Amino acid sequence: MNQFTRRVLFFLFFVSGFCSLAYQVVWTRMAFASFGIITPVLSVVLSVFMLGLAVGAWVGGRFIASLVEKTGLSAVVFYAGAELLIGLGAFAVPKLFAAGEYFLLATGQTNSIGYLSLSALVLAFSILPWCLFMGATFPLMMAYVRERDYKNTESFSFLYLANVLGAMSGTLLAAVVLVELLGFRHTLWVAAAGNFTIAVIGGYLGWKQRGFVVIALTEAERSAGPGNLSSPGNARRQLIKWILFSTGFGAMAMEVVWTRAFTPVLKTQVYSFALIVFTYLGATFLGSLWYRHNLKKKSLWPTAKLMSLLVIAVFLPILAGDPRFVKMDWVAAIDAISAIIVLASICPLCAILGYLTPSLIDEYATGDPAVAGKAYAVNVLGCILGPIFASYVLLPWISERHALILLSLPFFVFYLLGWKSLSRWQRLGSGLTASAVIVCSLFFSGDFQGLVSSFSKSIEVRRDYAASVISAGEGSHKVLLVNGMGMTYLTPITKFMVHLPLALHRGKPESALVICFGMGTTYRSALSWDIDTTAVELVPSVTKAFGFYHADAARFVNDPNGHIIIDDGRRYFRRTSKKFDVIAVDPPPPVSAAGSSLLFSKEFCALARQHLKPNGILQMWFPDGIPVKTHIRTDVIGDTLIWFSGRKAVAAQAVIRSLQESFPYVRCFPSVERSGVHLLASMDPIEIPTLEQLAARMPAGAKNDLLEWDTSGDLPAYLGLVVSQEIPIKNILNPDPKIQITDDNPLNEYFLLRQVGLF
């Protein structure tokens, strides 16, 4: 092939990788909206993605030669067809998700075996067909390369390099630019346009190749010869397959563990996960580039030498995640230096794998697309099983640090197998260094759990498929941490979340729904009204920590009026016909957390409205408050608009618009402790009685509950701390209708361009 053709093929695989990761970013987020923001959904999406790549690679390699021979068409024509079908997935997958979501409503709570199993099948049915075509692109294009240059034995690594570079770019641009500017739907359209462009170029290349396909195929078969003497021996081939499987398994399992282990440093923003994937792919690209450079110089590193480095690199993320080296806390602020340290710690491991994977597949396949497809499928098979093993087997039972140590064991096996082929000094250096890092990781390295233990003598740790939950503190100073992020503490704010709307309800309230269980304080307060109370919580271990925070938790757990449901709040709305007098929503902080918009969006407010009885009230808690005196503009005639700067301010205005466009009556009350606001919305007027009348509406149990942590004993005055501080909605609503949160445009999650002033 001439240089121009090589550049065209590099461009095609760059765009293909870009589109694939853009799909993965958007489809994962859409899957959260449809099936719940839980770790199994993430793991299944990743595993199904990889399953499609594996099966597609194997099938494409297995049948491309016969397809070319029977049809007389160039392999690049079939490649173009695959890209065309991938692009159609941009339009089909959202519709399949919607249909699957409806189908799964009858399968029970999200922690049920039925739901977890069937949701995995639905996700597989929705995503797998398009991922099959993604996986097939490698052997299909390799077959075309063979048509043009039958002596080429390194085509896989060449295409792999372009694909990883495109994937790295797709991850970053989708998360940082495209979703914020265009929303999810139009981001998918951009990716589809990329696939369709590839299909057109591929079709043109196939048209140019017509008439030469049979000749090229004959030359390729002649070059392979009987047995292809350049191929490695059988024992070596088996070892290569085991290495490919194990490295894929370990790397993808570690990515799931890193996501949870690094949360106290990187926090829960969508950019945090994108940075992990971007760093992973970026280092993989550099490793592949390193391999291609050595390939041209004919100075390849042997597998044993790479393994001697791998058994050291695998422990660097454990050491870098030590609280003595990086800043860990349970608030939303990110320390840039700490973030750089933990991200840099995964680079050596990923770079080595970026070198090792294409080098082994090149060695194994020697340019044969069918053999390369099998080898790549073996690698991706490991990538399929790794996330599932990490999510369902490791993380529910052991800490993130010990999970990473356990996942390193296969690398040691391959290191020991290649021990004799290393030089004396290489054995000594790698052996001593590897011994040192594993001893430090096992006995001297710290983690977030240890950091919390150093602050609190009383600590309980619970783990499940969804999250790691830490309960810590004593007396009235207790905190709830989920995956290292602070969710809540013992505060009267959580009591007001339900007492305020119940007291303002016109008539005698009979039922309440609490979305997000937290410490159980709001659930407990609702039951003090002696009404039917339902609490919906996503993480099973959170509800099991109820007794840590409240000594009387058992009484409320056994209360016949109480019902605790493990489910996603939106999904619960879709699968129940019950209606409530009050719905209290307490989205997990921070307001920019990944998936948080699903409880702030206009579509969620519309769902909540459908489940309110006449005179029912929706209480939405916004945790960051509204600093009403930061900046004032008076350029709107007749009104004074109170504005405030920063992305939190924009998010607050967007949440208010979501409520206002769904309900005709919305009121805003700053909470006690001057922290956060209660946003109340209803289809009917919310009248404010006198403080004495408001207190008189509350039954004795509710009065005692609200005053539990107030020493004054003056209920009307205590209620007045909130009710008397009402902020008129017209003073804080941004007149720009674009400042809103929708399922397609989660403004509070994707904000970087707006924050730096580029949008």
Annotate 415-458 with DSSP letters as a single string: HHHTGGGS-HHHHHHHHHHHHHHHHIIIII---HHHHHHHH-S-
How many of the other CB atoms lie within 10 Å of CB of 475?
Answer: 7
Burial class (CB in 10 A: 0-12, 13-18, 19+), 225: exposed
478-482 long-range contacts (CB < 8 A, ≥24 apart) are: 478/519, 478/548, 478/549, 479/330, 480/518, 480/519, 480/542, 480/545, 480/549, 481/330, 481/452, 482/539, 482/542, 482/588
Residue 605 φ/ψ, nearest 5 degrees: -60, -40
348/276 Cα distance (integer angstroms): 14
**Confidence band, pLDDT 50/70/90 cuts, at residue 110:** low
Collapse the DSSP code of 194 into the 3-class scheme (helix H, G, I; strand E, B; otherwise coil) and give the result. helix
pTM: 0.83
Burial class (CB in 10 A: 0-12, 13-18, 19+), 440: middle
Among 449, 467, 491, smallest CA distance to 330 is for: 449
Fold of 1-224: Growth Hormone; Chain: A; (1.20.1250)
For residue 268 the two structure tokens come to: 């829960």
- β-pair partners for 536: 515, 565
Predicted confidence (pLDDT) at residue 316 exceeds the cutoff of 90: yes
More confident: 625 or 444 = 444
Across the range 17-40, mean pLDDT stands at: 84
Residues of the chain with pLDDT > 70, as a percent, come to 91
Yes or no: say if 374 and 311 are a contact pair by the CB < 8 Å rule: no
Cα 271 from chain centre: 10
Yes or no: say if 79 and 398 are a contact pair by the CB < 8 Å rule: no
Half-sphere exposure of 201 (CA within 13 A, CB side): 18
Predicted confidence (pLDDT) at residue 376 exceeds the cutoff of 60: yes
Q: Per mean pLDDT, which range of 185-194, 461-470, 645-654 is the poorest?
A: 645-654
Per-residue confidence (pLDDT) for residue 332, from 0 to 100: 64
Among 326, 256, 276, smallest CA distance to 467 is for: 256
Yes or no: say if 585 and 645 are a contact pair by the CB < 8 Å rule: no
Q: What is the pLDDT of residues 541-574, one digit of tens each?
A: 999 999 999 999 999 999 999 999 988 888 888 8
- What's domain 233-455's superfamily in CATH? MFS general substrate transporter like domains (1.20.1250.20)
107/298 Cα distance (integer angstroms): 58
Per-residue confidence (pLDDT) for residue 641, from 0 to 100: 34
Radius of gyration of the chain (CA): 29
620/497 Cα distance (integer angstroms): 8
Across the range 175-181, mean pLDDT stands at: 91
Pairing assessment for the beta strands 477-482 and 485-489 based on DSSP bridges: antiparallel
Residues of the chain with pLDDT > 90, as a percent, come to 47
Q: CB-based contacts of 35: which residues, under 8 Å, 6+ apart?
A: 41, 97, 100, 101, 104, 119, 122, 123, 568, 571
Q: Per mean pLDDT, which range of 28-37, 591-600, 704-713 is the poorest?
A: 28-37
Per-residue confidence (pLDDT) for residue 259, from 0 to 100: 85
**Confidence band, pLDDT 50/70/90 cuts, at residue 230:** low
Fold of 488-755: Rossmann fold (3.40.50)
Q: Tell me the pLDDT of the chain averaged across its residues.
A: 86
Burial class (CB in 10 A: 0-12, 13-18, 19+), 635: exposed
Q: Using the 8-state DSSP alphabet, how is residue 302 labeled?
A: P
Per-residue confidence (pLDDT) for residue 226, from 0 to 100: 42
Among 697, 669, 667, smallest CA distance to 684 is for: 667
Per-residue confidence (pLDDT) for residue 1, from 0 to 100: 65
Among 595, 554, 586, smallest CA distance to 466 is for: 595
Among 722, 711, 555, 738, smallest CA distance to 657 is for: 738
For residue 267 the two structure tokens come to: 């926090």
Same fold, 1-224 and 488-755: no
300/307 Cα distance (integer angstroms): 14
Burial class (CB in 10 A: 0-12, 13-18, 19+), 700: exposed
Q: Using the 8-state DSSP alphabet, how is residue 677 labeled?
A: E
Domain ranges in the chain? Answer: 1-224, 233-455, 488-755
For residue 590, whether the previous peptide bond is cis, meaning omega lies within 30 degrees of 0, is yes
Ranges of beta strands (E only) in 623-729 are: 631-633, 641-643, 665-670, 677-682
